Structure 1
Amino acid sequence: MYEISVQAEFAAAHALSIAGAREPVHGHNWKVTVVVSGETLDGDGLLCDFHTVEDVLRSITDQYHNENLNDIVPFDRINPSAENVARAIGEVVVSRIGESLAPHARLDRVTVTEAPGCSATYRFPTAG
């Protein structure tokens, strides 16, 4: 199994609702890691071009940078937890480049770190 990972960072604020109480708005220096995996390489000996994933990831994190996540779709409707941020970023990555990865590679997981030692990972289900 091969894996490649691409990372990006952004600074953004959020306020979570926990057990019905909304915490104060606060900021983080978020780190995002996107992992693509697959069993085989393409004809160029690549699982996936790093730049393809990097460009999409950067376009997403640029929209979040210096913003309050609570004001950005989909976090205007769902809690902007690290778990939800990881899944939302991954879903956008899949929608933009998922077909170009197939059949030999797929988005495996997205990890979001909101503070040192505090991260959440969303793993995409495998086919079948």
Structure 2
Amino acid sequence: MKEIHEIYVKTHFSAAHCLEGYPGDCARLHGHNWIIEVHVRCERLNEIGIGIDFRDIKTAVKEVLQGLDHFNLNELPAFKSVNPTSENIARFLYKELSWILNADGIKVSKVKVCETPGAGAYYWEEED
């Protein structure tokens, strides 16, 4: 049986957005304190029992979130052609963090983005 460890970090950022074409209040510009969870799967542990250092994940997340924090997400290049929904933000973060963190035996497994503590979206990719 193959052992897998899944490590995660949880953080947040603040940003505004509006949802074009949405039939309600969210069509107007408004802000959130977005809650983010980044999950990373590790196939093995190093000699001291670590799959990936929490610090490495936190550093990568901080780097990517600097481009989102305290911005109007609609004005950013990543969201010019798609609404900055929780789903699309989760996909964006997954892809950006995968470029930074993925290595042999280490893979971003999923990203969770919440607009409020009780509502959010996960994004992950599966092999066909």
TM-score normalised by length of structure 1 = 0.87
**CA distances 1:16-73 after superposition (whole Å, capped 9, x unpaired):** 1246888001100001100011332123311111111111101111221111000112
Q: How large is the Cα RMSD of the aligned pairs?
A: 1.9
Cα pair 1:107 1:124 within 8 Å, conserved: no
Q: Which moved more, 1:33-42 or 1:19-28?
A: 19-28
Report the 3-state secondary structure (helix = DSSP H, G, I; strand = E; otherwise coil) of the residue aligned with 1:45.
coil
Gaps (5+ residues) in structure 2? none
Question: Percent of pairs identical after alignment?
Answer: 30
Query: What is the aligned length?
Result: 124
Report the 3-state secondary structure (helix = DSSP H, G, I; strand = E; otherwise coil) of the residue aligned with 1:74.
helix
Gaps (5+ residues) in structure 1? none
Aligned structure 1 segments of 4 or more residues deviating by more than 4 angstroms: 19-22
Paired position in structure 1 for 2:126: 125
Select 2:35's aligned residue among 31, 49, 53: 31
Deviation at 1:91, TM superposition (A): 0.5
Paired position in structure 1 for 2:85: 81
Paired position in structure 2 for 1:47: 51
TM-score normalised by length of structure 2 = 0.87
The structure whose residues are more often strand, as a share, is: 1
C-alpha distance in 1 between matches for 2:21 and 2:86: 13
